[in-house]
Amino acid sequence: MTSHTSGTSGTPSTSLTSHHVFTPHNILVTGGCGFLGSNFVRWVVNAHPDVHITVLDALTYAGNVNNLAGLPADRVQFVYGNICDVDMLRHVVPGHDAIINYAAESHNDNSIADPDPFLRSNVIGTFWLLQAALAHHIRFHQISTDEVYGDLALDDPHFFTEQTAYRPSSPYSASKASADMLVRAWYRTYGLPVTISNCSNNYGPYQHVEKFIPRQITNILTGRTPQLYGSGANVRDWIHTEDDARAVWAILTHGRLGQTYLIGAHCEKSNKDVLRTILELMGKDPDDYEHIADRPGHDRRYAIDPSKLVTELGWHPLHTDFRHGLEETIRWYETHRSWWEPIKDAVEERYAQQGR
């Protein structure tokens, strides 16, 4: 199967969507300077030229305003601010017809070392955004994760679905599960128009070098030995970030209110296989890595069934060749060293302090 690029094909067929179609013109993207948020913003700019985007971001360590570089100033406005700042939200939120909440602390290792920022951003921050959306009856889309479901056994033939019970394993996934519950409560109790998406592991450009794939790529580029938690048998379900952006837009504009949609591309790979492929693509010995102590409570397997998204909204992943997607991602980090080199040493120092 080949990899394709997406244009406006995130818009589902009208034959599959008999309910009301939502057409936003002025959206607020929180956390829009992060990996997922900035890729979503870039996709919307390219695919929907009639949409104006306000990016609200606190520019914590994982947020980088340079992720928005080159986007048209008349289409994308950046506002510096924290989603827990109630007074700021009172000024920023009015005038928008949708909020897409990408703002979150998201790194598992960091949540294990210090859960406090995760509770403040992912739970309290979501609460204040919901309150702001309710005050103006603004459409609200919550970006969540498959990690809220816990994990599956490596030999389990089943997948996560929208009916899977929440069983979060880490402070990070517990905070995201809490946020999802708040969103559902605001829909049922207050009638706020909401949707939720729970996505599998994303990869692609602009991902912070603390994450697995860019960390290993940049380790190799800086002469460091790549590292693998435990045996590396843990399985993740991978999706290209552009396909995720297309899915979020389809859910926002065509999804049924109060519903959750799972986003996945049926691309399960063990961490070991991903690392060996990266090494091979970068001209290294596939066995040139070292095993390190496993993460506490490390989830074994994530696997998503996106049937509801496919059947209801007509979405399909376009980047279906994972190896080709990795090649493109490697090239991006090779050609954007100025983007990640200034933060690489600090990331590795933090890992070393955590014993990883």
pLDDT band at 353 (very low <50, low <70, confident <90, very high): confident
Whether 349 sits among the annotated catalytic residues: the reply is no
CA pair distance 243, 309, nearest whole angstrom: 12
Which amino acid belongs to residue 193?
A: P
Mean pLDDT score, 29-39: 97
Q: Is 12 a domain residue?
A: no
pLDDT digit string, tens, across residues 306-350: 999 999 999 999 999 999 999 999 999 999 999 999 999 999 998
Catalytic residue, from 147, 210, 305, 348: name it.
Answer: 147
Q: List Cβ<8 Å contacts ≥24 apart for 69-76.
A: 71/41, 71/42, 71/45, 72/45, 75/45, 75/49, 75/51, 76/41, 76/45, 76/52
With H, G, I as helix, E, B as strand and everything else as coil, classify residue 309.
helix
Q: Is 167 a domain residue?
A: yes
Query: What total number of domains does the chain contain?
Result: 1
Length of the chain as a residue count: 356
Q: Is 165 a domain residue?
A: yes
Whether 341 sits among the annotated catalytic residues: the reply is no
Catalytic residue, from 57, 146, 243, 268: name it.
Answer: 146
Q: Is 288 a domain residue?
A: no
pLDDT digit string, tens, across residues 284-308: 999 999 999 887 878 899 999 999 9
Whether 287 sits among the annotated catalytic residues: the reply is no
Q: Is 192 a domain residue?
A: yes
CATH of the domain at 45: 3.40.50.720
Catalytic residue, from 102, 149, 172, 302: name it.
Answer: 172
Q: Is 225 a domain residue?
A: no
Q: Is 227 a domain residue?
A: no
Q: In degrees rounded to 5, what are phi and psi of residue 348? A: -70, -35
The domain in which residue 127 lies consists of 23-207+238-267+297-320
Q: Is 230 a domain residue?
A: no
pTM: 0.91
